[in-house]
Chains A and B, each alone.
Chain A
């Protein structure tokens, strides 16, 4: 079964750091654009970051630029999100998602989602 499984969420103090992982299985991970999307409790979806198949094209939402870093290890079929200088407003469920796009094009349409991992930023 095509699947994404996130891990690494938890409780962290303001100003702290956390690294999320997203393990992909049963598809050619190295071919796809990948994203992180978050959802604060009771709120809507918010796009966080995008990375292409070979990590040569990376984009971030303004709200996380300079604090979050997306990366991938195609040999390990894993996507990462390094989150530094965390703020209370970063509290959310973080989803990794597969873009329909492969190669040089992206669709910004996500056909496979993980189950999400909760990040809580609080003292």
Chain B
């Protein structure tokens, strides 16, 4: 299974909105709604921010939202804050009991 495609980096200013894309294929993102997003600060374990494409776990800010169209999932963050600066990873069930992650996107808050 090939990794999902994410932009290497995105940036935005405080208060702005940004969107991170996650492109897969018809065998993973396009076929299943088991898409998740994780936030990872340096030296820390990842934190789940979105699951099943658009659901937020309890305690996650409503500034995080997820969506999917075809083979591409997206994570949108509104009202950017300095503490949002981190690496973000998407993942998708890929059939045949496989799970694939994206290569990660580094978010810089300017």
Of the candidates A59, A61, A110, the one having the most CB atoms from chain B within 10 angstroms of its own CB is A110
Interface of A toward B, CB cutoff 8 Å: 35, 44-47, 50, 59, 61-62, 95, 100, 107-111, 113-116
**Count, chain B residues at interface, CB 8 A:** 25
Q: Is the CB of B99 within 8 A of A50?
A: yes
The SS class assigned to the B binding surface is strand
Give CA–CA (A100, B3) in the complex, Å: 22
Structural contact, A109 and B100, CB atoms closer than 8 A? no
Task: Let me know if B97 and A59 touch, CB within 8 A.
Answer: yes
A95–B47 Cα distance when bound, in Å, is 12
| B101 partner residues in chain A, CB cutoff 8 A | 44-47
A residues in contact with B51, CB < 8 Å: 100, 107, 109, 111
**Residues of B contacting A62 in the complex (Cβ-Cβ under 8 angstroms):** 1, 98
Name the one of A61, A107, A111, A113 contacting B52, with C-beta atoms under 8 angstroms. Answer: A107
